Amino acid sequence: MATETLPSVLVTTDWVAQHATDAAVRVVEVDVDTTSYDQGHVPGAAGWNWTTELCDTLVRDIVPVKKLEELLGKSGIDNKTTIVLYGDNNNWFAAWAFWQLKVYGHEDVRIMDGGRKKWLAEGRDLSTDKPSFPAKTYKASGPDLSLRAFLPEVQQAVAGKKAALVDVRSPQEFTGEILSPPGLPETCQRGGHIPGAKSIPWGKNCNEDGTFKSFDDLKALYAAQGITGDQPVIAYCRIGERSSLTWFAMKHLLGFKDVRNYDGSWTEWGNLVGAPVEKP
Amino acid sequence: MKPEHYSKRQQELAGWPVTIETYKLGDIYHCSIANVDPGARFARADGATREEAESRAIEKATRYLAQTRRFEV
């Protein structure tokens, strides 16, 4: 997005370069490839591992509240801290972290527009030092489940058509030609999509440099598929991280009131016995 | 430190388009490979030279991509 139109939930790489070590700011890298942080990160940034620190590692679920409070506390974050998230793949898991922080009520959380990709392409400083932070106490609120869709709500959306479903996976995943993104493990028994879902791949939210498209372009993108924000919307992908990015775009860039992320996504629906599947 | 010798290109591996991104940080070359669609990084490697880092990453990526099946729709 152009700097002059950045909403409060987005910051530029320039802003991060100037404020990354401010006492009231904590920059955090969250990647799909959890080794990316070790290959160099924004100086002063913490690194969170989504596979161990941003989920429940026993039950399939988002991070439990106590675990999140501990993670934030040891990252030197309290309830007043401005958290700036960024990561690889145009911020997929940065958006996943953003979504969970909003579920648990953090007030000031932002995303670095363009993510790791833009920072690298601009040749900005990288550090391999792992900073340590003075521990703080964090008290989460929520969870705000109005931001999250569970299976029964998705089933109701299919049956009653009261909520729009947005499938943000690639067209090949949507049609069932492939069961997972190329090179990644297949994690479902059936290919295709949830009946009635509209295909709006996550990448259409972004420009080539990884930044988000303008408000007008995003509005037109969703309106072209009948998604205008005047009815509830549920976004899904394979495991819920790409749909976090689309959730972010619809909820925080377009301002749609009722947008939920279905983090069960295709790894839940595509493995359900008897669940209806539409192809292509 | 500033990343040096940054490069990004697209090519096909095992029948799939991928993006290969490489840069040098300190004495180490870092290479990562992502599928073009949807854009997920799925293989990476380090090396003392660009060629070493990229050939290791490409070997891994080719192995992983070979396991992706295509279904008729």
* A188 is a catalytic site residue: no
- Examine the fold and report which residue of A98, A118, A142 is the final residue of a domain before the chain moves on: A142
Number of domains into which chain A is organized: 2
Residue matched to tokens 């955090």: A28
- Examine the fold and report which residue of A142, A169, A192 is the final residue of a domain before the chain moves on: A142
The kind and range of the H/E element at A94 are: helix A88-103
pLDDT of A1 > 80? The answer is: no
What mean pLDDT is predicted for residues A155-169? 95
Give CA–CA dist A261/A244, Å, rounded.
6
**Whether residues A85 and A192 fall in one domain:** no
Q: Nearest residue on chain B to A242, judged by CA atoms?
A: B38
Q: What is the pTM of this model?
A: 0.95
Confirm if A243 and A262 have CB atoms less than 8 A apart: yes
- Please identify every stretch of chain B with a pLDDT value under 50, giving residue numbers as ranges: none
For β-strands B16-25 and B28-35, DSSP reports them as antiparallel
Name the minimum distance, in Å, from the CA of B29 to any CA of chain A. Answer: 9
Give CA–CA dist A25/A75, Å, rounded.
11
Residue A274 lies in a domain: no
Per residue in A202-219, pLDDT (tens digit) is 999 999 999 999 999 999
What order do you get walking across the sheet with B41-47 strand by strand?
B4-13, B16-25, B28-35, B41-47
Q: Nearest residue on chain B to A174, judged by CA atoms?
A: B73
**Whether residues A122 and A9 fall in one domain:** yes
For β-strands A164-167 and A198-199, DSSP reports them as parallel
**Whether residues A168 and A241 fall in one domain:** yes
The pLDDT confidence band at residue A148, using thresholds 50, 70 and 90, is: very high
Residue B59 with chain A: CB contacts under 8 Å: none
Q: Which domain holds residue A68?
A: 3-142
> What's the number of CA atoms in the CB half-sphere (13 Å) around residue A106?
25
Look up the CATH number of the domain holding residue A201.
Answer: 3.40.250.10
Residues of A at the B interface, defined by Cβ within 8 angstroms: 31-33, 35-36, 39-40, 88-90, 92, 120-121, 123-128, 169-173, 175-186, 191, 201-203, 242, 279-280
Residue A277 lies in a domain: no
Give CA–CA dist A71/B15, Å, rounded.
41
- Examine the fold and report which residue of A101, A120, A142 is the final residue of a domain before the chain moves on: A142
Per residue in A4-30, pLDDT (tens digit) is 445 799 999 999 999 999 999 999 999
